[in-house]
């Protein structure tokens, strides 16, 4: 289907959630159940849009409910180590000089599901579409900082940081993070406070009315619903600055990280994007009848690639023989000729903020002896992607070679080559990394005997009565849990449990939770679901 | 042995070459025969020096004879697109503001021998010691550029480049290269025109009296014997800017690169260093008697790591199980606490220009089931090294995991674990990547029949007479070649053949030359060496 550039209807899944006022595209794949809204476009649909992603199909990462803000009331405060504190309205900001240019945003968790197939991380199942590209317009951050009387000489006696805070109140306080002042002041880095996306005011999911855009950097630093900028000699003190967007060495699990304070090790912060590339054609489950091989047809392999820090993707290579040899693909870099880029001051631009597309035309018969198609990109730092993933406890920055398996499957009286991606996003089934019997929670509660007559059973109707903040039961894999006492401790916020209160939350739960959460859940077990529903 | 910080004696190998006036350290491993001087320190000796490498042990990359320059006469000209051309003496430069700080230099060919073991590239056999670290002092390039009236606004109508030229005349003109003006002007990039190294004036091998230092960048851009800076709207037009320091995709050989003008593809230039790490302890051929395993001894694995672009090495990991699991090593980053760094303006520094050292203490018994020790580093861009090398025609930027094999070898009436590096630099034998029967030239001239009586034979004494520019014969693998007509076309310069004129040049030749050169040589074949020397 063609993507609408704007959406007016409320998705039924949002009814009953705090976000029931926000129109959303029905095809977005939801990765954390109904709420909060964390979603990516189906990969092929995203690619069909080309260089610029329509707003409704742009990936979204929300930690909690979307704040309801108003252009005329919203203010931006700039304080801390500044000689001239500011308090600006949106109209003030809109009347300042601006920059407008395309930027590819990427969540640090892009392609996390591949890592979760090795071992569940503490993050949810992003597929390879946690990236999108839009035209962003906003005030250069360095302009605002100069208005506030900040300059590079302030760094003489030590580092300075620009701390951003949003208005979204979460279980561990406001979402916030920081970047070095030097980075913010350097005009070539193009950090802006954006109020427009693709030529229109931001939508609520993308930070309306104001968010930070830091090109070349992970999405997690680009604070949405921005209300405060504080200049400090310390990094942001937000819980999320330290407990999110980190890559810990593979030997760390969450417990050890907390015990050894690894979350605070400055070596483990993620700022720049790393090099990445993905195969989008063939798509998952796309197939070619073997009969096609007789007519000399060609196939065009396609995909995207991006890198961080303003570096340029310099080549993308494809292997059809498990990495023994690599074929040079054709690179398409629309950024280089985009009108919004060409009309900017420096031409050709010395920084690259957008994804590239690659393609390679091969004869069908190349697939005959091909077990898998893999892709890797290189950038102007002469670095490339590793072949294998390195698991880390947050499941972040996965950039191993993207490998699509080529399977031969009988169909009617002929054979097909069927392509298989490593995973599918969220709870969607399929993918060669998905083990035949996934370790879902089903295997876990088996240590609680289901035939022990001491264990109470509850009907669905009984459970349904416990559906509020003071009395909240949920059903997961036919077990009943009383989560009332846990509501306020839940890292995803009270709302994300409450929308499932009194209901079966198996899908929502298994989509996101780690072994640790599964263990924790056991403490709230109160009985089993009555098996004979029809009796009641 | 301890390294002398200065050397006064002429190495016998330099006698008879144009460099016979330059004192050099006798332990430096020469990689291109006697001349020109391309040399690295033995790896363990280099590591023994610690953070700062003494000048005589610092790796050297010379394309030809070293120019004989004088402080009092040498001038630096700054011209091109400048409003105020400059012509400065060394004393002028020494009286300008300066920066002084440690920088790790790396040749883009570091670790090339590993690539040459896959397939001979067009470059010579650097081991893993084509890197060193010194304190460099010089005038900030941006200061000089501002004196010349250059500023960032000059880039409004397109890019500007700073082109550097040395005075070293080579077969294809002066050595020169360029970097973007924007890079040169940004003070945080610390580009300097250096006249001191480790507190003393430069030595001839390191560019006396003036060279460029571009931290975070490959050595090939840091022009030595600098005499001219030209601001241009084009990159340097030096032959060496395009035909050196490029990484071409693996499918390109030299012929195809030239035919398709791949040397001029801007995607293939190398500027920044990529991430790299090396194991230095255990050294090659180091051994541990198995009897040591009974006394609970520990072994400390050690090595270096570096990255480019001012990024920070954030972790180094070691695998003892062929990459299945990785152990976090201890990082030692002397740059962070070096006095020359601490007294600079911004503290802690936001850019990292030096190598790091890593170590990991493991019990001896960890080696029992260990086939190989491998190392990989990560940097603040969240990129890491690939497991396998990607061959390229110049054999550059090799940064695959450095893998040391652990062999069990009987010795007397016990066993030893003997460690084996992938290669040894230059023509030095040893290393697990070295195939049992290396493809040396010996196999090549076999298509020229040695028993054909039509082929003339020459005695060593006869060949020795043809020892000058107008009549130059050499012996390679018992074949005689008349290279007179090739002298001026030789990419390494006339001198590098002439020093072997009339002599056996087998070692010098096989150290450097590609299959293509071997083919080319056949055209100069004139006969065989007389086998019975004693008769004459």
- What structural domains and CATH numbers belong to chain A? 75-98+136-268 (3.90.420.10), 276-331+340-420 (2.60.40.650), 442-535 (3.10.120.10)
* A497 pLDDT above the threshold of 70: yes
Quickly tell me which residue has 């059809």 as its tokens: A320
Write the pLDDT tens digit of every residue in B395-449. 999 999 999 999 999 988 888 999 999 999 998 999 999 976 444 433 344 444 4
Chain B residue numbers with beta carbons less than 8 Å from the beta carbon of A182 are 188, 346, 350
* A238 pLDDT above the threshold of 60: yes
Closest CA to B226 of B213, B235, B217, B215: B213
Write the pLDDT tens digit of every residue in B274-301. 999 999 999 999 999 888 776 678 999 9
* pLDDT the model gives residue A320: 97
Q: Is B244 a catalytic residue?
A: yes
The mean per-residue pLDDT over the stretch A58-71 comes to: 97
Q: Do A250 and B180 touch (CB under 8 A)?
A: no
**A313: how many CB neighbours lie within 10 A of its CB?**
26
β strands within B347-440, DSSP E: 356-363, 372-379, 402-411, 414-420
Burial class (CB in 10 A: 0-12, 13-18, 19+), B504: middle
The mean per-residue pLDDT over the stretch A475-503 comes to: 82
Helices (H), A253-401: 254-259, 339-342
- Categorize the per-residue pLDDT at A445 as very low, low, confident or very high, splitting at 50, 70 and 90: very low
Write the pLDDT tens digit of every residue in B93-102. 999 999 999 9
The mean per-residue pLDDT over the stretch A506-535 comes to: 74
The mean per-residue pLDDT over the stretch A446-467 comes to: 71
Whether residue B10 contacts residue B409, with contact meaning beta carbons closer than 8 Å, is answered with: no
Q: Is pLDDT larger for residue B154 or for residue B347?
A: B154
- Categorize the per-residue pLDDT at A496 as very low, low, confident or very high, splitting at 50, 70 and 90: confident
Gap between the Cα atoms of A385 and A388, Å rounded: 9
Chain A residue numbers with beta carbons less than 8 Å from the beta carbon of B327 are 251
Q: Do A274 and B348 touch (CB under 8 A)?
A: no
* A395 pLDDT above the threshold of 70: yes
Say whether residue B309 is in contact with chain A using an 8 A CB cutoff.
yes
pTM: 0.87
* A347 pLDDT above the threshold of 50: no
Say whether residue B454 is in contact with chain A using an 8 A CB cutoff.
no
Sign of CA dihedral A268, A270, A271, A274: positive
The mean per-residue pLDDT over the stretch B307-314 comes to: 96
**B15: how many CB neighbours lie within 10 A of its CB?**
11
* pLDDT the model gives residue A450: 43
Which of residues 340 through 379 in chain A touch B, CB cutoff 8 A? 345-348, 350
Q: Is A245 a catalytic residue?
A: yes
Q: Is A48 a catalytic residue?
A: no
* pLDDT the model gives residue B533: 42
* pLDDT the model gives residue A436: 64
Write the pLDDT tens digit of every residue in B136-169. 999 999 999 999 999 887 777 778 999 999 998 8
Tokens coding A225? 């619903």
* pLDDT the model gives residue A438: 41
* pLDDT the model gives residue A345: 61
**A274, A317, A390 member nearest B381 (Cβ):** A274
What three-state secondary structure class fits A170? strand
Closest CA to B87 of B71, B98, B76: B76
Which of residues 209 through 268 in chain B touch A, CB cutoff 8 A? 247, 249-251, 267-268
Residue B338 CA to its chain's centroid (Å): 26
Quickly tell me which residue has 């010691």 as its tokens: B129
Say whether residue A318 is in contact with chain B using an 8 A CB cutoff.
no
Whether residue A69 contacts residue A208, with contact meaning beta carbons closer than 8 Å, is answered with: yes
Say whether residue B317 is in contact with chain A using an 8 A CB cutoff.
yes
Q: Do A382 and B156 touch (CB under 8 A)?
A: no
Chain B residue numbers with beta carbons less than 8 Å from the beta carbon of A350 are 159, 180, 182
* A446 pLDDT above the threshold of 50: no
Range scoring the smallest mean pLDDT among A393-407, B5-19, B503-517:
B503-517
Gap from A79 CA to chain B (nearest CA, Å): 23
Whether residue B375 contacts residue B347, with contact meaning beta carbons closer than 8 Å, is answered with: no
**A158, A274, A315 member nearest B383 (Cβ):** A274
* A443 pLDDT above the threshold of 70: no
Tokens coding B6? 């200065």
ipTM: 0.85
Gap between the Cα atoms of B536 and B533, Å rounded: 6
């Amino acid at each position: 289907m063609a993507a609408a550039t704007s959406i007016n209807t409320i998705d039924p899944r949002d009814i009953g959630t705090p976000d029931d006022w926000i129109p959303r595209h029905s095809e977005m794949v939801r990765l954390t159940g109904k709420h909060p809204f964390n979603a990516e476009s189906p990969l092929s649909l995203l690619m069909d849009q080309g260089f610029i992603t329509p707003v409704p199909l742009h990936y979204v990462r929300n930690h909690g409910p979307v704040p309801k803000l108003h252009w005329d009331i919203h203010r931006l405060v700039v304080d801390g180590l500044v000689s001239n504190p500011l308090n600006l309205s949106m109209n003030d900001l809109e009347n300042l000089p601006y920059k407008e240019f395309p930027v590819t945003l990427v969540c640090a968790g892009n392609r996390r599901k591949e890592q979760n197939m090795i071992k569940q991380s503490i993050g949810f199942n992003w597929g390879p579409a946690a990236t999108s590209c839009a035209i962003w317009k906003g005030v250069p951050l360095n302009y605002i900082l100069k208005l506030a009387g900040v300059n590079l000489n302030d760094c003489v006696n030590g580092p300075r940081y620009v701390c951003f805070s949003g208005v979204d109140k979460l279980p561990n306080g406001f979402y916030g993070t920081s970047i070095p002042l030097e980075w913010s002041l350097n005009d070539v880095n193009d950090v802006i406070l954006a109020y427009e996306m693709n030529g229109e005011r931001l939508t609520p999911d993308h930070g309306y009315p104001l968010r930070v855009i830091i090109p070349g950097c992970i999405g997690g630093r680009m604070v949405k619903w921005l209300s405060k900028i504080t200049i400090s000699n310390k990094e942001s003190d937000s819980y999320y600055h330290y407990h999110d967007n980190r890559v810990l060495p593979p030997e760390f699990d969450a417990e050890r990280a907390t015990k050894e304070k690894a979350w605070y090790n400055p070596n483990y912060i993620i700022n720049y994007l790393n090099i990445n590339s993905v195969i989008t054609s063939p798509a998952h489950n796309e197939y070619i009848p073997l009969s096609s091989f007789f007519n000399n047809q060609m196939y065009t392999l396609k995909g995207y690639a991006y890198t961080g820090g303003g570096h340029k993707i310099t080549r993308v290579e494809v292997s059809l023989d498990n990495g023994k040899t690599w074929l040079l693909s054709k690179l398409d870099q629309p950024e280089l000729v985009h009108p919004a880029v060409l009309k900017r001051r420096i031409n050709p631009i010395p920084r690259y903020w957008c994804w590239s597309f690659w393609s390679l035309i091969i004869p069908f018969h190349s697939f005959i002896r091909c077990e898998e198609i893999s892709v890797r990109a290189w950038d102007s730092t002469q670095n490339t992607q590793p072949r294998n993933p390195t698991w880390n406890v947050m499941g972040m920055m996965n950039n191993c070679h993207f490998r699509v398996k080529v399977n031969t499957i009988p169909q009617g009286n002929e054979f097909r080559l069927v392509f298989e991606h490593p995973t599918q996003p969220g709870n969607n089934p399929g993918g060669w990394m998905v083990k035949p019997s996934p370790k879902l929670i089903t295997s876990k509660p088996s240590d609680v005997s289901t035939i022990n007559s001491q264990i109470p059973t509850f009907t669905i109707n009984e459970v349904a009565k416990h559906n509020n903040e003071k009395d909240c039961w949920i059903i997961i894999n036919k077990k009943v849990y009383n989560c009332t006492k846990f509501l306020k401790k839940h890292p995803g916020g009270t709302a994300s449990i409450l929308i499932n209160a009194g209901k079966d939350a198996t899908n929502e739960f298994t989509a996101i939770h780690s072994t640790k959460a599964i263990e924790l859940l056991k403490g709230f077990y109160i009985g089993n679901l009555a098996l004979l529903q029809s009796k009641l």
